[in-house]
A and B are shown apart, each in its own frame.
Chain A
Amino acid sequence: MTTLASPDRSIRKGGQAKRHGRGLTGLLLVSAPVMLLGWLIIYPIFNAIGRTLFVKGDAGVRFGFDSYHQFLTDGYSLSNLWLTLWVTAVCAALLMATCLPLALYLRFAKSRVAALVQGLALFPMFVPSVILAYALIRTIGPNGAVDLVLNAVGLPKINSPYLTPWGPIIGLVWDNIPLTTLMLVAGLGGVSDNAVEAARDAGARHFALLRHIILPQIGNAMLVVLSFTVLSIFSAFTLPYVLGPASPEMMGPFMQRTFSQVLDTRMAVTQAVITFIICAGFGAFYVRSIAKNREARR
């Protein structure tokens, strides 16, 4: 597989009439998914914003920020938001700390062991979150496998992260290792062996090499990884719901509870729009990065 999207050259050779016909065919072929995209992604976003800003009262439709005001003055909602932001920051830091060394190893290793490392690093991608959640409870939960082993060698039990914010953090980091590593390895693909060799010949040590040759090259990849992590943790539901604390709770379970149990659709949608706003900057950066990549490859 190589790069995406480069216009078909053979079409360019075709006559104007033929091109016109193909244009219609193309539009027709993409119309179904585009309509679905419009109906189930674009429309809901605007609908959500509208629903939270306009209230149908006795005296007709009224405009107001009252639902946002309610969220921003409610201590419980705010502590949920802070928890989510904190978990996001910790996860992003932990992911960088684990995946950058992994990616560097995979990029520069020449041994057969590297294939095994790659296999293991990608493996979590094929473990669904529900199974992961269950496995983590059995492993690091109270009286889990880790406790069994510690007990067998005469050490005290661990302070189980289950039902604390560290539960979802461990799960989310585990879950995000494969994609983060893949993206960083792809980013490192831009660092040429020649540059690294030259720097090494000039006497650059490992740290200098990393700082002056490698990091400047993968800055963009790291920012994309960061955006992706923020987006995926703000939309995490299963792991925080199963492994995380009940109060305060992360935004995912909080929105779900507000919608399904409190039955306050408007408040749930308000919480959703707040996650949109917080992620907007990262989302915009992410889109810009995709667009730039596609430009560069044309």
Chain B
Amino acid sequence: MTAIDPVTMARDSHVPTHKTKKTDWLGLGIVAVLGLVVVVPLVVVAIWAFAEVWRYPSLLPQEFGLRFWNATLARPDVWGAMFLSIRLSVTVTLLSAIICLPAAYAFARLDFPGRNVLFLSFLASHAFPKFGLLVAIAGIFLNLGLISTFWGVVLIQLVGTLMMMIWIPVAAFQNVDRAMEEAARDAGAGPLRVFWSVSLPQAAPTIFAAVLLSFVGTFYETEGAWLIGAPEIRTMPVLMITFINNQIVVQYGAVLSVLLWIPSFIALMFTRRLVGSASFAKGFGV
């Protein structure tokens, strides 16, 4: 089986089948339904974020304004959670890159005993229901005094990034052009120099996408932070859940949602190609 990019599949086919100029009504119908289901809930949140007064049963808010943005951004708990979330995500992503990227290179390019079994065991770690695993880890952390600490949450979230930070970069390192490396070696470059000037630049865009996905994934990670971090470590998603549950002011949640979604939007811009590729799905065993 070869990897087929669905985007290119959809755009140009090698076998000319039913090439008609007719409007793709089926496609437009799907777009309409998906648009309604996928986009409308988010639009509603965006409207709420800028609504000052919105009483039932008016279709649109009676008053628009930025009052609740000021109110939300004036809350110290919001800033506390924001800085904590950023600090956690940066720490986890850096640690993850330091330990996973060399491993990914080794899995992709070096031959060593147990290579396949070890690589498979990383992919297989997805085969356990994650929340049950978190509870099992929490049981251990309780004895180690890591519950409700920064480093406890770092460790839990680090485990969550392992798979993505190994499996995507492995593919990146395998796709490096060998001929270019050999040419550089023939020209007298040492192995480190070849790695730094030839292999790494080629693999870099995909690795960057993996790092970005890990950062964003960690930023939004809720389960581990909630289970291991409570009550001391309150990250943005955890704060958001408390806002939803306590229903203090509807707009707080809306403003936070819009703010929180920004990192995700950046990730969307940069990683769409990677996520759309078939090899991404192949990592899940299809």
Contacts and interface: CB of A to CB of B under 8 A. Distances in A.
Given A7-B111, A113-B24, A29 B38 contact: no
A187 to B, nearest CB: 5
A213 interface: no
A84 to B, nearest CB: 10
B237 A128 contact: yes
A200 to B, nearest CB: 8
A107 B3 contact: no
Contacts of A132: 41
Contacts of B133: 41, 44-45, 235, 272
Interface of B: 1-4, 6-7, 9-11, 13-15, 17-19, 24, 26-28, 30-31, 34-35, 37-42, 44-45, 48, 56-59, 99-100, 102-103, 105-116, 118-133, 135-140, 142, 155-156, 158-159, 162, 166-167, 170-172, 174-175, 178, 182, 206, 220, 222-223, 226-227, 230, 237, 240-241, 244-245, 250, 253-254, 257, 260-261, 264-265, 267-268, 272, 274-286
Contact of B227 (A118, A259, A293): A259
A63 interface: no
Contacts of A179: 281, 284
B235 to A, nearest CB: 10
A290 interface: yes
A247 to B, nearest CB: 16
Given A1-B175, A237-B222, A290 B103 contact: no
From A24, A123, A194, A290, name the one whose CB has the most chain B CB atoms within 10 angstroms: A290
A66 interface: no
Given A256-B135, A273-B136, 8 more contacts: A30-B102, A109-B27, A120-B34, A122-B275, A135-B42, A148-B57, A234-B132, A286-B127
Interface in A266-296: 268-269, 271-273, 275-276, 279, 282-284, 286-287, 289-291, 293-294, 296
B78 to A, nearest CB: 14
Nearest to A250: B131
A44 B121 CA distance: 15
Contact of A189 (B1, B59, B137): B1
A224 B222 contact: no
A111 B112 contact: no
Contact of B125 (A37, A194, A221, A225): A37
Interface in A108-128: 108-128
A12 B279 CA distance: 26
